[in-house]
Structures are given as C-alpha cells and as structure tokens.
Amino acid sequence: MTTAPSATATERLEVRADSDVVRVRQLVRTVAQQARLSLVDQTKLVTAASELARNTLVYGGGGEVEVELVADGRRSGVRAVFSDEGPGIADLDLALTDGWTSGNGLGLGLSGSRRLVEQFSIDTAPGAGTRVEIVTWSR
C-alpha cells in the first residue's frame, strides 16, 4: 500500500460563505459516487467535509477545498484537502477533543469528522493556517 495513489482531475472550490459549504458537500458527494463508496460511507464523508469546510470558513476566515478521485490500483477513493491562512491551532490535542470548542460550536467538528473518515491528517501551527486532509476508500 505504499504506491502513490494516481489522481484524476482535482476540483477546487473557494470557501467564503455559507453557500460555499453547501457547494463543497455537493462536490464531495459527486466524487464519492464516482469512487463507488457505499451510501453510508458517502454520508460519513460528506458530513466530515461539511464540518471541515465550516471550520475553514468560521475559524480559518475562509480558504479553499480541493477534492479529487484517487486510485491505488485496487480501490478508488476520495481525497479532500481543506486549507486556510487563518490563525492556526495552538493546541492540537485539545482541538481534537470531543466537546472542546474555541468558538460557540458543539466541539464535534474536528474530533467527529476524524471518526467519519479512513485517513485524517492535520498540519497547523499558530499563525501558519490550517490544512486538513481526509481520504476514504471504497471497500
């Protein structure tokens, strides 16, 4: 499983308003169907994408999302990357704790979306923005 997934066209969306979060959900849904994810896996992935796109908007002050269909020879999958140039996250462990929020949310966005996808990685530092990458593969 060390082969680099081959990628097809990458779709990029800006996240600047509530309506963009809906657009991200719709794009991820479309690509998840192309990747032949099961309905439950599609729903989990789209829900995670919705949480992360909202984080990009609310905490990151806006940013962009890249979505692509990926393949590793055997399986197809969806990769989505959420990036912003916002304040970043100082204490990542805390931010990944259920129920903890720096805003007025439920504190489930980051921790909950991590549970909904197969691969989750986050790259952030104070003042350096935040980049979250998620991948879910077909079974």
Partner 1 sequence: MSDSVPILKIGSTLLVSIQVDLQDDTALQLQEDLAERITRTGARGVVIDISGLEIVDSFIGRMLASVAAISRVLDAQTVVVGMRPAVAITMVELGLSLGGVRTALDVERGLAMLAPAHESAESVLLAAAAERESR
Mark 40-79 with x for binding to partner 1 (rule: CB under 8 A) and - for no binding.
Answer: x-xxx-xx--xx--x-------------------------
- Interaction residues for partner 1, span 3-22 (CB under 8 A): 18-19, 21-22
109 contacts partner 1 (rule: CB under 8 A): yes
CA distance 120 to 81: 10
CA distance 136 to 117: 6
Name which of 71 and 122 has its Cβ closer to partner 1. 122
Tokens 């999302």 found at: 65
Residue 130: both structure tokens together:
């935040």
Name which of 12 and 115 has its Cβ closer to partner 1. 115
Name which of 5 and 105 has its Cβ closer to partner 1. 105
Check the CA dihedral 43-45-51-56 and report its sign.
negative
In this structure, are residues 64 and 81 in contact, taking their beta carbons and an 8 Å threshold?
no
Residue 66: both structure tokens together:
């890249």
Binding residues for partner 1 (CB under 8 A)? 18-19, 21-22, 25-26, 29, 39-40, 42-44, 46-47, 50-51, 54, 98, 105-106, 108-109, 111-113, 115-116
